[in-house]
Amino acid sequence: MRAVERKFRRTGYAGTSVDDIAKAGGLGRGSLYAAFGDKNTLYLETLSAYCDRNEAGWAAVLDGPDDTALERLRAYLVKSARFVHEDPDGLGCMVTGFVVEGVDHDPRAEARVRQALASIGRSLTECVRAAQRHGDLDPEADAAEVAHLLMAVNRGMEVMARAGLDTAALDRVCDHAFQGLPLTARARSLWVPRSAATP
Amino acid sequence: MRAVERKFRRTGYAGTSVDDIAKAGGLGRGSLYAAFGDKNTLYLETLSAYCDRNEAGWAAVLDGPDDTALERLRAYLVKSARFVHEDPDGLGCMVTGFVVEGVDHDPRAEARVRQALASIGRSLTECVRAAQRHGDLDPEADAAEVAHLLMAVNRGMEVMARAGLDTAALDRVCDHAFQGLPLTARARSLWVPRSAATP
DNA sequence: ACAGTTCTGGACCGCTTCGTCAAAAACCCT
DNA sequence: AGGGTTTTTGACGAAGCGGTCCAGAACTGT
């Protein structure tokens, strides 16, 4: 039920009533409770389905051969930068919404979210390693740490987008973040056509 | 009323009832309404006070002479990395909470938050310029864009912290983010005592 | 076509919510 | 000490909440 997911993403868990959900989903309250039994479980199910799509989506962006791994990392950043503003309603990631909404989390939902983040982290780490193998990223760098940085930039750009930072500025943030990766000299010369750094 | 602020930060706007607030603030509902008139306004007032402290706090971290500007930028990142886990209850920034909670914002609160972000952005930009003047950051870099990147990393590390990333990992993210700044060779040699990059 | 089963939807219940109000407590100034 | 003013309070009402339930619609297999 995609409309329900969007409703949750728009107004959060606490800010969404079961009536809202029923209206958004186009069915009555009884049917909802018959299918899920609980607002909590309904949210969990929605969140889990969202995570499934999210993990698969990022994996599709990041999986591939070594020689394009750096491009894929760049694509990850670009997609992150545009995530919110590309959404028709400017909705952000449901995982971010869940994580930020409160500290008293349903443990099942928290576990699901951690699993999703771990999955994306794995895809990113593998892609970083691929870029290292291809000589585009410093082989000394810890791939998992670089992945964590990329995830943080992803979430950070999302928050900034939700706060009103426009697409152009976010694209520039994305550029700086990419340039900030531990690129090898070769990769840097390929990705920065003309630089004033080597006179 | 600091307890009220913490209650809002813990459970969000929609997740906090006026009774909760009254209990947290140690006074009755009537008094609350007499003083603020509205849950919305009460939240706005709390948020605004929080923003005041936040802006001042970051400005205190970032203001100073050119020769320590880069250190201050590093301090900004380190403090960002530890923000959540240093809080006794692991609470995050109220601004992030507000921004992420929903898309249908009270325009007054949204304006206040944008003002706060602009203020922090100004402090950061000025600090970046100071570091550029001192020859620690590439003078070609756009200071405002670097500031935006730093703000994004700040928010991103907060979200990752809320998602469960531990302090040690966050410190490493912070290190990588700092190394990713457009440091001049001089600054890099000062901040990275031994590097394998210059054989 | 029809009986049995599944699914749907809105009425319903008890509880919590936000906001109001009059009574009581606290305070103040001389 | 005491009269007047401000502040605090807990009870109150209407509305909204999550969750239950059952009459009727829709679908199934034959």
Annotated domain spans of chain A: 47-191
CB contact set of B80 (below 8 Å; sequence gap of 6+): B153, B154, B157, B158, B174
Distance from CA of B35 to the nearest CA of A (A): 25
Query: Is residue B199 predicted with pLDDT exceeding 70?
Result: no
Burial of A48 (0-12, 13-18, 19+ CB in 10 A): middle
pLDDT reported for residue B195: 40
* Residues found in chain A: 199
| Mean pLDDT (chain A, rounded) | 93
Nucleotide nearest to B34 (CA to C1'): D7
Query: Is residue B197 predicted with pLDDT exceeding 50?
Result: no
- Nearest-angstrom CA–CA distance, B136 and B72: 12
Query: Is residue A198 predicted with pLDDT exceeding 60?
Result: no
- Nearest-angstrom CA–CA distance, A156 and B8: 21
Average pLDDT over residues B4-27: 92
Query: Is residue B27 predicted with pLDDT exceeding 60?
Result: yes
CB contact set of B124 (below 8 Å; sequence gap of 6+): B58, B62, B73, B76, B146, B147, B150, B151
| Mean pLDDT (chain B, rounded) | 93
Average pLDDT over residues B99-118: 93
Write b or e for each residue in B120-155: b if 16 or more Cβ atoms lie within 10 A of its Cβ, otherwise e.
Answer: bbebbbbbbbbbbebebbbeebebbbbbbbbbbbbb
pLDDT reported for residue B152: 98
Which residue on chain B is closest to A113 by alpha carbon?
A: B163
Which of the four pLDDT bands, split at 50, 70 and 90, describes residue B103? confident
User: Residue A57: how many CB atoms within 10 A of its CB?
Assistant: 12
pLDDT reported for residue B29: 87
pLDDT reported for residue A195: 40
* Inter-residue contact A153 to A177 (CB < 8 Å): yes
- Nearest-angstrom CA–CA distance, A47 and A44: 5
Chains A, B: CB contacts under 8 A, how many?
A: 170
- Nearest-angstrom CA–CA distance, A124 and A151: 8
A52-88 pLDDT per residue, tens: 999 999 999 999 999 999 999 999 999 999 999 999 9
A103 to B90: CB separation less than 8 angstroms, yes or no: yes
Give me the percent of chain A exceeding a pLDDT of 70: 96
Say which CATH architecture domain A47-191 belongs to: Orthogonal Bundle (1.10)
Distance from CA of B176 to the nearest CA of A (A): 7
Closest residue, CA to C1' of C21: B30
Which of the four pLDDT bands, split at 50, 70 and 90, describes residue B192? low
Say which CATH architecture domain B39-191 belongs to: Orthogonal Bundle (1.10)
* Inter-residue contact A164 to B114 (CB < 8 Å): yes
Query: Is residue A194 predicted with pLDDT exceeding 50?
Result: no
Which of the four pLDDT bands, split at 50, 70 and 90, describes residue A122? very high
pLDDT reported for residue A192: 64
Write b or e for each residue in B174-196: b if 16 or more Cβ atoms lie within 10 A of its Cβ, otherwise e.
Answer: bbbbbbbbbbbeebeeebeeeee
Q: Which residues of A touch B101 (CB under 8 A)?
A: 12, 15, 97, 100-101
Nucleotides of C under 7 A from a protein CB: 7-12, 16-22
* Inter-residue contact A92 to A162 (CB < 8 Å): yes
- The packing angle between helices A94-101 and A2-11, to 10°, is 40
